[in-house]
Amino acid sequence: AAGVIQSPRHLIKEKRETATLKCYPIPRHDTVYWYQQGPGQDPQFLISFYEKMQSDKGSIPDRFSAQQFSDYHSELNMSSLELGDSALYFCASSLTSGENNEQFFGPGTRLTVL
Amino acid sequence: DQQVKQNSPSLSVQEGRISILNCDYTNSMFDYFLWYKKYPAEGPTFLISISSIKDKNEDGRFTVFLNKSAKHLSLHIVPSQPGDSAVYFCAAKRLYQGGSEKLVFGKGTKLTVNP
């Protein structure tokens, strides 16, 4: 079965550079979530999209922006990168119907800021 | 403010024995609680969940217990197998009609099952 695809899997950037992370949800899933997991930390919710509209926003810096496109893939854009942005970034998708709409996670993008 | 807490960063058990992973939460508005399992270099994988209106849910070797009055849940794995060795995240969410159901995670417990 198709899973959530994230690209790239690894990314190395310098401080003050920009980065774009991509997420391709499971086909027919209508909701995408982005999470950030710092070293030794729990995954923290950043932002979500439902049917291509932003549906919720968490602890996402103003330097970050995201969008969901007509084909439902999502991109997380990160500018003016800081050392503290080094983390694992997970994308998850779900089908928002019923009570227990499980979120399926991608393998993550490991961003290293030097 | 950590709304979901996993106070044991690690747990080691013998193969065949029971593994009990604990989780506490502070937000009484959570509707669902979930356990995710994570292997290195992979994303979290859904394991089992429980609605806030239930006190037990069982799926094969995995059982989750919820004690709402204590704001505590636990995951029991019986019998434990070496392949169960992974990081287990406790998570919670509120339900919405469409839109976002963001997960709030604990910091995880690394389970090691020794042969």
Please state, in angstroms and rounded to a whole number, the distance separating the CA atoms of residues B31 and A111. 33
**CA of A39: which chain B residue's CA is closest?**
B107
A:72-111 residues touching chain B, CB 8 A cutoff:
90, 92, 94, 96, 99-108
The whole-number average pLDDT for the span B3-15 is 96
Cβ neighbours of residue B82 under 8 Å, at least 6 residues apart?
Answer: B15, B113, B114, B115
Q: What is the pLDDT of residues A76-106, one digit of tens each?
A: 999 999 999 999 999 999 987 655 678 999 9
Q: DSSP characters for chain B?
A: --SEE---SEEEEETTS-EEEEEEE--TT--EEEEEEE-TTS--EEEEEEETT-SEEEETTEEEEEETTTTEEEEEESS--GGG-EEEEEEEE---SSS----EE---EEEEEE-
Q: What count of residues does chain A have?
A: 114
Name the pLDDT band for B95 (thresholds 50, 70, 90).
Answer: confident
* CATH code of A59's domain: 2.60.40.10
Quick one: CA torsion of A7, A94, A49, A6, rounded to 10 degrees? 0
Greater confidence, A19 or B99? A19
Domains and CATH numbers, chain B: 4-114 (2.60.40.10)
Please state, in angstroms and rounded to a whole number, the distance separating the CA atoms of residues A91 and A71. 16
Domain count along chain A: 1
Greater confidence, B99 or B52? B52
What is residue A69's predicted lDDT score, i.e. its pLDDT?
Answer: 94
Q: Which of B95, B98, B102 sits opposite A33 (nearest CB)?
A: B102
Q: What is the mean pLDDT of chain A?
A: 92
Q: What is the mean pLDDT of chain B?
A: 94
Q: Which of A4, A58, A102 sits opposite B102 (nearest CB)?
A: A58
Q: What is the pLDDT of residues B22-71, one digit of tens each?
A: 999 999 999 999 999 999 888 999 999 999 999 999 999 999 999 999 99
Print the domain residue range for A104. 5-113
Burial class of residue B38 in the structure, from the number of CB atoms within 10 Å of its CB (0-12 exposed, 13-18 middle, 19+ buried):
buried
Cβ neighbours of residue A59 under 8 Å, at least 6 residues apart?
Answer: A44, A45, A46
What is residue A95's predicted lDDT score, i.e. its pLDDT?
Answer: 85
